[in-house]
Amino acid sequence: MRGITNLSSGMMGFAIARAARDAGAQVTLVAGPVHLPTPRGVVRVDVRSAQQMYDAVLPVAARHDVFVATAAVADWRPARLSDEKIKKNGNRVAPSFELTENPDILAAVAKLPDRPFCVGFAAESHDLLKHAREKLARKNVPLVVGNLGPATFGRDDNALVLVDADGHRELPQADKLTLARQLVAEIAARLASLSA
């Protein structure tokens, strides 16, 4: 075994960074190990682990008006790393791994006293609306964007459902940049109504 991972490509996050820049925002993009070009004018910080992402996001989050958590962060990591290759032991007994929980970046940002407007993502395989509503409450954020993970990972298009305390709104199937622009416009409208 060489690794355990998921199939998230980072495309939605990069599309949102680009859409936000086009809308006039100054954007910091904290990116995991993905092979995507940095949108021009966007400050990119590359990280490899959930802990590194937490360490990169937390000190700067309050300096931003909006935090959009698109990364498919692993909930668990191996409790111990081996410096050496774990060899087959000849008796065909699979090694077992102890896992430990990663910090929840979105929940931590949402707890900051001067927190930005926080937008969470919910990539689900089923019962999207139900899980998105649960996430809204559990993470204590004003907006959660749901999508059906397996249908969109690595693809150019997506369909979103925006869930807030009042209800939900569907953004039908479109390419990710189109959806990102719609999402950014929606966030901008909410920020405007908050400051009105």
Binding footprint of ligand C5P, residue count (CB under 6 A): 13
Residue 17 lies near ligand C5P (rule: CB under 6 A): no
CB of 103 to ligand C5P, least distance (A): 6
Q: Which helix (H) or strand (E) holds 171?
A: strand 167-175
Within 8 A by CB and 6+ apart from 162, the residues are 143, 144, 145, 146, 168, 169, 170, 171, 183, 186
In the complex, the smallest distance separating the C-beta of residue 155 from ligand C5P, rounded to whole angstroms, is 19
Q: Decide: helix, strand or coil at residue 19.
A: helix
Which regions of 38-166 does DSSP assign to beta strands (E)?
A: 43-46, 66-69, 76-78, 99-101, 117-124, 143-148, 157-164
**Is residue 121 a contact point for ligand C5P (CB under 6 A)?**
yes
Q: Is 89 a catalytic residue?
A: no
Considering only 106, 163, 180, 187, the residue that binds ligand C5P (CB under 6 A) is 106
Site membership for ligand C5P, residue 124 (CB under 6 A)? no
Cβ–Cβ under 8 Å, residues 46 and 31: yes
Under rule CB under 6 A, residue 75 binds ligand C5P: yes
For 65, the token pair is: 């008006």
Q: Minimum Å distance from CB 104 to ligand C5P?
A: 4
Residues binding ligand C5P (CB under 6 A): 50, 69, 71, 73, 75, 102, 104-106, 120-122, 135
